[in-house]
A and B are shown apart, each in its own frame.
Chain A
Amino acid sequence: MNSNNRRKGTILVLLIVMIVGLFSGCTSNGTTATEAEEPITITFWHNYDAGAGQVEVLSALIEEFQAENPGILVDPLYLEWSALKNNVVAGATTKMLPDILRGDIGFVPLFQSLNVLVEMDTSFDDYAKAAETIMDAPNSTAAKGGHYYGLAANTNTKILYYNMDLVSTPPANLAEMWDIAEEISNDELTGFVEAWMGGWNLCQYIWSNGGDVLSPDYSTAEGYINSPIVVEVIQRMADLHEEGAFNGPSIDPGAPGDTDGMGTGKYAMTIDGPWKANDFATKYPDLNIGTMQMPAGDVDSIGVLGGEDFMMFKSSDDAHKQAAWKFIKFMTTKEAQIEMAKVGQMPVNRETLNSQEALDAMPLLPIFAEALETCRTRPVIPQWGDVSGIINTKATEAVLGLKPVKTALDEAAKEIDALLAK
């Protein structure tokens, strides 16, 4: 009997230990905000690239910021692109969100549709003043329905990178670029690599040839994504793929990745953002790489505007919001932007863009600045991620020859319209 009681006692103790363990977590989590003298810690999720040295620069900038603002501590957390998005999705209902997030401009409409983002222009009196220092085009990516849900962090668009040992004369226009790709390709060499076939990758060709993906009011894709212009663009890609002149890791998972393939001379040309210059320089320093603005299509050279915005979340309390806003403003100052330019992030600060220091940090800046003048934003709608996914699926099916191009694009139009109707 005695031993029974002891046994019971042990079990109870174990249970209590377990429950205490369960709740020990909450005490350590919940106390930070309540005490006024305690410094405020703001959590900051980002996907700055550690390999390119951006995380080191970020740490240095945070230290500087903390020295200037003694009451505020910044707790950065790196999350890879999809982890960044997935964590916001998982935490949206339960408010497990950071104070600041620096992420893809495409996240703004998506997160806004979850009703988690802070309407920044009405929340901070000096938003307009801060936005003035930023170029209009990048900051327009944070706007939705007349309000701003973020502040641009960096911007980018894409240019043509070509292996100068394989491509002797750079192309004058898009048609010529495809011709060169066709000419130089052989068993060992694929003329052109496209990393993915979604909107980010295909819009540039469609726009440059005078076509579009959606109607201007974003109400329908019918007559746009399946227009003759787009059919022609995709048909050319399909023909090139057939001849082994056009490929990529999403069209063929067995193909080398774009950076490694370019670096080892298996691909000759690609159109990509400023980070590629960094990748090539660090991983393949001997590569003889040439750069130029994306060749013009029938109409113009119209690239896709990319980049990242700073976003804030409704889950933070006022003190955290104010602190977070201070940090965002700090990160968009000329000095901070130049530091980030040194490791491959294209500045959005007007002053920075024209400064000699930025130019020294980023030799390709003039080419990108020129490209930025003609580039366009992708539709700012919450469904864009899915629309882009449909374009990728259908265009890939067409390029692989699984379906005639026109059929694939008609299907795309139908699927996109169903999505837009929701």
Chain B
Amino acid sequence: MKKKRIKKALVIRYLLLTAGMLIMILPMVFMISSSLRPNEMTFAYPPKLIPSLSEITGENYRYILGNASFFQYMKNTLFVAGMSTLLVAWIASMLAYSISRFQFQGRNLLYRTIIMTMLIPGLAMILPQFELAVQFHLIDNLWGVILFYTAWMIPFSTFLIKGFIDDIPKEMDEAIYIDGGSILTVYRMAIIPMASPSIAAVSIFNFLFSFEELAWSQTILRSDRLRTIPVALTQFFQAHNRTDWGFVLAMTCLSMVPIVILYILLQKYFIAGLSSGAVKG
């Protein structure tokens, strides 16, 4: 009897999940199907969710992939996202470790300031930050994007990783100290391996953020060969009077491929890494 009830509950679960999922992916289906249709068909009335077979064309994809720039944009984007993610993983984990494990002067002040910076609207600082970028000769330079992204992503990442490190028992640290290790050895031998799920989890968020950030990269990156995908996409769309939807949607779909792969690869760590850090609040 009980088994039957559980089975029924399970069916309801799947039904609910599938129904919700259908609503969630509807805009995506529309996006993918439109990327397979000729440009001018995108917003035809009445709207069509699924293109008929005769309409389907790979023309948009051929155009984007045949355009050598796309791979350059992708390379830039991956470089920016990868580099910023790595830098943040390195810097934030060190900060988190220091704040979590040691009582040093100004520790609370530092942690509070880190939390506070998360509360400031990001766009607000664009002008002073731009002036800074000019002073450091970072305009039209991928590092101008990477370094600022890194600085922006550090607070949130530190916050999450610190929560995770708080939960790691100190036995390992002690063992290393007894063997004559320093705090740097502890960082490398105990903290990095133990906190890796949480570092991986924030890295997904960070990668995603730097992969699609627009406002800042648009201000910094000017030459075509340095553009990242979001910038290229926007410029392309604006330069063509917001008409070539097919190309834009095809480019969007293509640009999602690396992130989907990354998500699938890391999703196991994703959940595990977030669990204790976030729970702590």
> Is A25 within 8 A of B127, CB to CB?
no
**Minimum CB–CB distance for A8 against chain B, Å:** 7
**Minimum CB–CB distance for B117 against chain A, Å:** 21
How far is B28's CA from A375's CA once the two chains are assembled, in angstroms? 48
Pick from B137, B218, B219, B239: contact of A25, CB below 8 A: B137
Pick from A78, A96, A279: contact of B241, CB below 8 A: A279
B219 — which chain A residues lie within 8 A by C-beta? Answer: 86-87, 90
B204 interface residue per 8 A CB criterion: no
Stretch at the interface among B64-72, B140-148, B252-260, B272-280: B140-148
A29 interface residue per 8 A CB criterion: yes
**Minimum CB–CB distance for B181 against chain A, Å:** 8
- Tell me the chain B residues, 105-141 only, with Cβ under 8 Å from chain A: 126-127, 130-131, 134-141
How far is B138's CA from A236's CA once the two chains are assembled, in angstroms? 53
Stretch at the interface among B3-11, B155-163, B182-190: B182-190
B141 — which chain A residues lie within 8 A by C-beta? Answer: 25, 28-29
A71 interface residue per 8 A CB criterion: no
**Minimum CB–CB distance for B2 against chain A, Å:** 53
> Is B130 within 8 A of A22, CB to CB?
no
> Is B184 within 8 A of A30, CB to CB?
no
> A86 — nearest CB in chain B belongs to which residue?
B219
How far is B87's CA from A259's CA once the two chains are assembled, in angstroms? 46
Digit string of A60-88 for contact with B (CB within 8 Å is 1, else 0)? Answer: 00000000000000010110100100110
A4 interface residue per 8 A CB criterion: yes
> Is A7 within 8 A of B134, CB to CB?
no
A96 — which chain B residues lie within 8 A by C-beta? Answer: 130, 134, 139
> Is B184 within 8 A of A7, CB to CB?
yes
> Is A80 within 8 A of B137, CB to CB?
no
**Minimum CB–CB distance for B276 against chain A, Å:** 27
> Is A7 within 8 A of B185, CB to CB?
yes
A283 interface residue per 8 A CB criterion: yes
A168 interface residue per 8 A CB criterion: no
B235 — which chain A residues lie within 8 A by C-beta? Answer: 78, 80
> Is A94 within 8 A of B130, CB to CB?
yes
Digit string of A82-120 for contact with B (CB within 8 Å is 1, else 0)? Answer: 010011001101111000000000000000000000000
Q: A4-B182, A94-B134 known; A21 and B239 CB under 8 Å?
A: no
B40 — which chain A residues lie within 8 A by C-beta? Answer: 283
**Minimum CB–CB distance for A140 against chain B, Å:** 29
How far is B189's CA from A15's CA once the two chains are assembled, in angstroms? 21
> B136 — nearest CB in chain A belongs to which residue?
A22
> Is B135 within 8 A of A94, CB to CB?
yes
Q: A80-B235, A87-B219 known; A49 and B241 CB under 8 Å?
A: yes
How far is B143's CA from A196's CA once the two chains are assembled, in angstroms? 39
A259 — which chain B residues lie within 8 A by C-beta? Answer: 241
* Interface residue count on the B side (C-beta < 8 Å): 38
Digit string of A24-59 for contact with B (CB within 8 Å is 1, else 0)? Answer: 111011100000000000000000011110010000
B126 — which chain A residues lie within 8 A by C-beta? Answer: 90
Q: A25-B138, A29-B137, A94-B131 known; A4 and B184 CB under 8 Å?
A: yes
> Is B137 within 8 A of A26, CB to CB?
yes
B238 interface residue per 8 A CB criterion: yes
B180 interface residue per 8 A CB criterion: yes
How far is B188's CA from A8's CA once the two chains are assembled, in angstroms? 11
Digit string of A277-315 for contact with B (CB within 8 Å is 1, else 0)? Answer: 001000100000000000000000000000000000000
How far is B201's CA from A391's CA once the two chains are assembled, in angstroms? 50
> Is B143 within 8 A of A80, CB to CB?
no
A52 — which chain B residues lie within 8 A by C-beta? Answer: 241
**Minimum CB–CB distance for B243 against chain A, Å:** 6
B101 interface residue per 8 A CB criterion: no
> Is B131 within 8 A of A77, CB to CB?
no
A80 — which chain B residues lie within 8 A by C-beta? Answer: 235, 238-239
A26 — which chain B residues lie within 8 A by C-beta? Answer: 136-137
A402 — which chain B residues lie within 8 A by C-beta? Answer: none
Pick from A3, A25, A75: contact of B185, CB below 8 A: A3
Q: Which residues of B contact A (CB under 8 A)?
A: 40, 43, 45, 87, 90, 126-127, 130-131, 134-141, 143-144, 147, 180-182, 184-185, 188, 218-219, 222-223, 235, 238-244
15 CB-based A-B contacts, threshold 8 Å: A4-B181, A23-B137, A29-B140, A30-B137, A51-B240, A51-B243, A55-B239, A86-B219, A91-B134, A94-B134, A95-B134, A96-B134, A259-B241, A264-B45, A283-B243
Closest 3 CB pairs of A and B: A26-B137, A50-B239, A25-B141
